[in-house]
Every structure is written in structure tokens, then in C-alpha cells.
């Protein structure tokens, strides 16, 4: 296992289009997180899953954003009707929650979205 992988690494789209990002976590990890990072800022929490259940969503996650983790493995983050303000780096992270929980999140390299 080579870690958390995200696809695509960079997406350029026109305003109003829909985009979807995929995240493949570390295989044995049961928790998966999405964060958004804009230039000069730290990552901001969007949502997280434990297995296939979405346990928490930030108020940053407007109704144009939807995330799924249908089989408790990979996850997708879809943004509908993109706006220029959606331009950011979208980060995925995973962790193992349980008796050996260390609190550490393992991050992917991110998917950069540019909305023209």
C-alpha cells in the first residue's frame, strides 16, 4: 500500500460545470476525511466518514457539494455548478479508528481545482 491517493491531481473547469474527485485511502483505514485548502490558509474540514457512514459535515459544505463512500473504501467528492470561489486544493486523509487509534491522519497529495 503506497498511501492515500487522489485523482485527478489537477482539474481545470469552467464555471457552472460539475466536477468529481476520487480518494483511495490506506486500505485498512476505516475513517476518511475531506479538507479544503486555499492559498495561504491551513486545511479546512469539510466532512468525514467512518466506513460508509458520513458522521460529520461542515457548514462549509454547501448543498452543491456531496461526498460518498459507498462501500467504505474509496470516496468521491462532487461539486455541482462550480463557482470561482470553489478553486482550491481538495485534500483527502484517512486514519484507523479503534483500539490502536493514534489520532494521526494520513494525507494524500491533493486534487487542485481551478474554476475559470
Residue ranges binding another protein (CB under 8 A):
3-4, 31, 33, 40-45, 48, 55-56, 58, 91, 93, 97, 102-110
Nearer to another protein, 45 or 74 (CB): 45
Cell 473504501, residue? Answer: 73
Nearest to 2 by CA among 113, 112, 116, 108: 108
Nearer to another protein, 11 or 31 (CB): 31
Record the cell numbers describing residue 22, joined without a space. 476520487
Shortest distance, position 96 Cβ to another protein, whole Å: 12
Shortest distance, position 55 Cβ to another protein, whole Å: 7
Beta strands at 111-115 and 10-13: parallel, antiparallel or unpaired: parallel
Nearer to another protein, 99 or 102 (CB): 102
Burial of 96 (0-12, 13-18, 19+ CB in 10 A): middle
Shortest distance, position 16 Cβ to another protein, whole Å: 30
Calpha distance 52→103 (Å, rounded): 20
Nearer to another protein, 74 or 107 (CB): 107
Amino acid at each position: 500500500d503506497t498511501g492515500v491517493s487522489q485523482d485527478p491531481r489537477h482539474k481545470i473547469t469552467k464555471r457552472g460545470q460539475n466536477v468529481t474527485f476520487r480518494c483511495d485511502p490506506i486500505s485498512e483505514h476505516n475513517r476518511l476525511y475531506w479538507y479544503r485548502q486555499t492559498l495561504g490558509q491551513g486545511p479546512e474540514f469539510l466532512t468525514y466518514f467512518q466506513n460508509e457512514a458520513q458522521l460529520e459535515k461542515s457548514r462549509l459544505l454547501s448543498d452543491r457539494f456531496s461526498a460518498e463512500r459507498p462501500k467504505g473504501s474509496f470516496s468521491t467528492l462532487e461539486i455541482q455548478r462550480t463557482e470561482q470561489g470553489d478553486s482550491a486544493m481538495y485534500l483527502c486523509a484517512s486514519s484507523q479508528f479503534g483500539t490502536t487509534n493514534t489520532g494521526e491522519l494520513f494525507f494524500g497529495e491533493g486534487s487542485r481545482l481551478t474554476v475559470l
